[in-house]
Every structure is written in structure tokens, then in C-alpha cells.
Amino acid sequence: MASTQVAAEGQQAPTKNPTLLAWVAKMAEMTQPDSIVWCDGSEAEKKRLTDQAVKEGILIPLNPEKRPNSYLHRSNPNDVARVEHLTFICTPNKTDAGPTNNWMEPEAAYTKLGNLFTGCMKGRTMYVVPYAMGPIGSPFTKLGVELTDSIYVVLNMRIMARMGKQALDMLGDSDDFNRGLHSTGDVDPDRRYICHFPQDNTIWSFGSGYGGNVLLGKKCLALRIGSYLGREEGWMAEHMLILGVTSPKGETTYVAAAFPSACGKTNFAMMIPPPEYKGWKIETVGDDIAWMHPGKDGRLYAINPEAGYFGVVPGTNYKTNPNAMESIAKDTIFTNVALTADGDVWWEGKDGEVPDELTDWQGRPWKKGSAEKAAHPNSRFTAPMSNNPALSPKANDPTGVPISALIFGGRRSNTVPLVLQAFNWTHGVFLGATMGSETTAAATGKVGVVRRDPMAMLPFCGYHMGDYLQHWLDMQKHIAQLPKIFQVNWFRQDKNGKFMWPGFGENMRVLEWIVNRVHGRVPTQETLLGWVPRADQGLNLNGLDLASDVVAEVTSIKEDEWKSELKSQEVFFEQLGTKAPDALMLQRKLLMARLDH
């Protein structure tokens, strides 16, 4: 069937953009869908597609009284997470992708995936999904169009981005948009690829239905392509939350923070201060991604390009994250959680008693005490950010928010103290570049192995990691009022393996110290590693039942541990080869010299 006939049998294209129309026609000619539907983002469209997804068994309606307008989706059991080993950066030179990315030559990738895409949408509908990453009208917003044969993708993209007519109107006749092509194919792991073409501003994803692989605006555009565009255009695309903290006096300070997986990122973004912090307020700008640009006033401004949250469900409850629980109380798509007999959802770590019987994430009967998980460990929720009770009024501000502090943190049982401040920008970039988290036995069979994850961007950087770190260093020249940089660690353990710091809302105490440092209000103690809180004028510990020796231990810096730490960093820098920035190598040598003497 010719592409023009396909278009005729589908919906009339609501645009005259010649570049967009030609590209859609070309992709339709290759994939050969039965019809084409242009998505407008309307409520009527949402209802129509949701009803269709329910009818086809793609979505299961949840109890409308317990979970209004919410649904459960079960993915193929072989398709439940990002596939880093099948994710490629396709650049003309392998060196441009760097040693931390999988590489494929662009023409080879187009040919390989083109063979998979040919005829893959026969008997299916191609949905054209125009979307904006960032507030409509913002000069920092990037536009994309995803072509997909998945209703699940359309309904999730509607939540995660500003989707439909508003994005198409913003695009107008411009040819500056990300070209995303996706098909679930036959969901065969041996025929699954997620390919990024930075020079072409293009993403092709085949053979998966999992959000991280197929919601192309998220990790694919917002980070992998975004990081490349950021270097080319003089800004930064970062795997960071953004929050505003307002004091009882009405002073609001914005911070951005990078944490690898399982380090409490969403919890920190939506934190509720403890009772001792009456009058303080935390507001969420974003929970996962920050696009940061130098402002005309010399400050660094950040927007959250997303419009929703795609979060991990297990472990989420009213103790760990009350605001997340409120965010998923309605209008939410759950993926791979368990189903209760009365039509609600359940997952490990949820509040209340464990039900006696459930239907597990694969649709099988499950009984209390079963050795298998009822919900998949990577089960997800997709919820609009408008559901968040702590949403910042600046979340849709087209200019973004001015960032005063950048925070890096990982999961470390020792070595890294609770909080420290970098001496300067270059030292702070060194702390971010060498940050890491310890693996768990479940993941690797060996506890305590530190996996380096610079700026929490290892899986998401769209070009050579050495060039990425140099870009961080170079940004200093373009930001007159540099944010202060901090390192935190909520996960120090005692000799019995027990966490010493209570975490969660009590992290507000660390955040307050960071805010005070930003505004120059508290003195510090200088150490070999950076500035740390003073014992007499440091962290506010009022109302916290924590012995003084425990506080001393969780904030301690042990020289022997840091000598081992610096030695272990050597492998990471060697991996970067000649592109390891000289300034960061010098920071490491200076720290080694300080420790030796």
C-alpha cells in the first residue's frame, strides 16, 4: 500500500509542515501500517484510546473508587527494564561514542533496523505523537515526534510530555524536531534495539514495549540526545531532580541533585520536612531530569523537560514518600504490579498488611508467603506531575528556576561522609565524576562493589564520557554565579551493617545546611576532602534521637578509606584514556598528595 493511500485511510494530517509530512510518509512506506492516526492530546482522544486499550486487554481498569481513572498494564515477561546492552549510540566515529557506550555505525544501524521495521506495522495503526519536552513556549523546550504502533506508548507519552496539538502548534513549519520511530515488533529480545543518532536528532527503537526503551522523550531524547545537543549548544542535560526549599522567612532556594538508582532520588525531590521544621516547605520542580542553561543574569537556570513521573513502585509508601503516594492515587498507569481481589494494586513495601491472595504481575495466582515477588522489582507508575501535592508553582515556568546548589550522592556504606562541600567548581566536578554506588548481592552476587556512575549519567550520556566531563569544566566560563557543589551519602553503615543516618524526611537537616552554605550563613570545618559541618555550628539535630558518637561516625572522614577510594578511581580514569580531563586528573593527584602528607 502506498504511503499516500495509508494517509488517506487514516486521519487527515493536522499540519502543513513539509518536513514532518515527508518524514511520516517515508516511515509509513517502510513500516506499512493499515492506518495513520495523528494524536491531538485531547480528552476525547484519551477516552477513545483508553477504551480501545481496555477492549484489547492492554489495560486493566482498576477499582474506580480506590484508584480513579487508573489502569494496570502487564508487559511481556522478557521486556521489563531498560536494555543497556542493546542500547547504541550511532556516530560516524566510534571514538565519539566513547568506551562507556555501545556503538554502531549509523548506516549499518539504519540498515539493520530498517530490515526489522520493514512491514512491521502491517495490520496495525501508526500513531503520530507530537510532543514537547519542556514548557510550551519556553526557549529551552525541545520538540519531538514519535511514530509508534503502541497505544500504551501513546497514553504514557500523554502523561510524560506536553503532547498533541500544543506541541504541533509550537513546531509550526520548522524542521527542528527529534524524529522518533518505535515498534514493539514481536517483542523478541533477539530482535530488540534502541539506537540513537545524535547528528541526525533521530531515535529508532524496535522490539520493546518497556517505558524506558520506548517513551522516546524520556531517557532517549531528554538525556542521550539531549546531552549531545547540550554540548553543541552550550547547555547541560542532566539526570537530576530539581526542588525548591522555602524557609519560614519566605526565602526560596533551588537545588538540583544527581543520584544513581536506589539512592532515594524521588524521595528527596518530594521530601516532607520533619516536625521540627515547621514553616519549611519543599516543592518539586522535577524528579528525574534537569535541562540547565546559563541565564542572562549570570545564574544557571533549570527546567524539568517532563510533565509526569515514571517511577519505581516497590518500596513506595506513606513513610518513604507520602507525596508520591498521593501522586499515584488517581489518573495513573501502573505497569507490572500485583492486583488485589477488589481491583486495587499492590507491591512489596506498600502500606498495610500483605494480602493473603493476589494476582501477580504476570497474571498468575499468588499467595502470602510465596518466594516469588508479587510485583516485579522494576514495576512502574506513570502519573501526571499535576497530581503531586508538593508541585512547585515554577514547574511550568518557561524561564526555569535559578540553581544555587548542585548535589551528588551515591549509596556508600563507608568512606563518603554524610555531607561535604566542594572547594570550587573543578573540585565539585571531580566529586561528581568519581561518584559511585555499591552493588547489592541480588544484583551482582557480591556486596560492596563500587560501580562508578559519573553524575549518575553513565547509562545516559550520548557521547564520550571524557568529553562530557570536559563540558562540565568548560561551563564554568559561561556561568558568572556558579552554583555551589556538594556531595552527600545517606547510607553509611555501622559495624553491624545498620544504617546510621535515618534518611527520608530527616535529610532536610542536611538540605538546610546546604542552603545555609549557599547563602554564607554558617561557618565550616575544612578537611582534606572539602568543607564539612562544624560540630558546634553545623547540622540542626534538634529532636533527632541520634547519639553524638553516631553523628561523629556518619560525618567522619577516614584517610585509609580515601586512599583506597582514590586507588579504585584509577580504573575509571584509565577507561577514558586520553580524553580524561587534565583538570580532574590533577584534582586526584592533589588529593592523593594531601592524604600522603
380 is in an annotated binding site: yes
List, by residue range, all CATH 3.40.449.10 domains of the chain.
Answer: 3-58+80-233
Residue 88, pLDDT above cutoff 90: yes
Cα gap 454→485, rounded to integer Å: 14
Specify the amino acid at residue 27: M
Of 472, 471, 458, nearest in space to 424 by CA? 472
E strand residue ranges, 427-545: 436-438, 450-452, 484-488, 524-526, 531-533
List, by residue range, all CATH 2.170.8.10 domains of the chain.
Answer: 309-387
Mutual angle of helices 465-474 and 425-433, in 10-degree steps: 160
pLDDT of amino acid 442: 39
User: What is the residue whose three cell numbers read 582534606?
Assistant: 528
Pairwise pLDDT comparison (524 vs 2), residue with the higher score? 524
Helices (H) and strands (E) in the chain, counts: 18, 31
Residue 1, pLDDT above cutoff 80: no
238-307+392-596 CATH pick, 3.40.50.9100, 3.50.70.10, 3.30.930.10, 3.90.228.20? 3.90.228.20
174 is in an annotated binding site: no
Place 345 in a pLDDT band, splitting at 50, 70 and 90: very high
The stretch 502-531 carries a mean pLDDT of 96
Whether 427 contacts 530, CB under 8 Å: yes
pLDDT of amino acid 450: 87
Q: Which fold would CATH assign to domain 3-58+80-233?
A: Phosphoenolpyruvate Carboxykinase; domain 1 (3.40.449)
Place 445 in a pLDDT band, splitting at 50, 70 and 90: very low
Helix (H) or strand (E) holding 560: helix 559-576
466 is in an annotated binding site: no
pLDDT of amino acid 536: 82
List, by residue range, all CATH 3.90.228.20 domains of the chain.
Answer: 238-307+392-596
pLDDT tens for 374-400 read 999 999 999 999 999 999 999 999 999
Q: What percent of the chain has pLDDT over 90?
A: 93
Quick one: CA torsion of 119, 120, 124, 129, rounded to 10 degrees? -110
pLDDT tens for 17-30 read 999 999 999 999 99
Residue 336, pLDDT above cutoff 50: yes
Bridge partners, residue 380, by sequence: 312, 335
Residue 117, pLDDT above cutoff 70: yes
DSSP helix, strand, coil percent of the chain (3-state; round to 5):
35, 20, 45
The stretch 30-53 carries a mean pLDDT of 98
pLDDT of amino acid 444: 37
Q: What percent of the chain has pLDDT over 70?
A: 97
Cα gap 222→482, rounded to integer Å: 23
Residue 447, pLDDT above cutoff 60: no
231 is in an annotated binding site: no
Cα gap 174→171, rounded to integer Å: 6
Cα gap 151→212, rounded to integer Å: 16
Point out the residues that are catalytic.
263
Residue 5, pLDDT above cutoff 50: no
pLDDT tens for 167-213 read 999 999 999 999 999 999 999 999 999 999 999 999 999 999 999 99
User: What is the residue whose three cell numbers read 518557561?
Assistant: 398
pLDDT of amino acid 4: 38
192 is in an annotated binding site: no
Instruction: Out of 237-246, 353-362, 535-544, pick the least confident.
Output: 535-544
Q: Is 63 helix (H, G, I), strand (E, B) or coil?
A: coil
Residue 441, pLDDT above cutoff 70: no
Q: Which fold would CATH assign to domain 309-387?
A: Phosphoenolpyruvate Carboxykinase; domain 2 (2.170.8)
Strands 162-163 and 125-133, bridge-based pairing: antiparallel
288 is in an annotated binding site: yes
Residue 265, pLDDT above cutoff 70: yes
pLDDT of amino acid 184: 98
239 is in an annotated binding site: yes
Dihedral pair phi/psi, residue 407, rounded to 5°: -120, 135
pLDDT tens for 427-439 read 999 999 999 888 7
Dihedral pair phi/psi, residue 487, rounded to 5°: -125, 135
User: How much is the mean pLDDT over the chain?
Assistant: 95
438 is in an annotated binding site: no
Residue 544, pLDDT above cutoff 50: yes
- 139, 245, 270, 519 from 248: Cα distances, Å: 33, 10, 18, 15
Whether 256 contacts 290, CB under 8 Å: yes
588 is in an annotated binding site: no
Place 7 in a pLDDT band, splitting at 50, 70 and 90: very low
17 is in an annotated binding site: no
The stretch 493-513 carries a mean pLDDT of 96
pLDDT of amino acid 12: 86
Residue 69, pLDDT above cutoff 50: yes
Whether 207 contacts 189, CB under 8 Å: yes
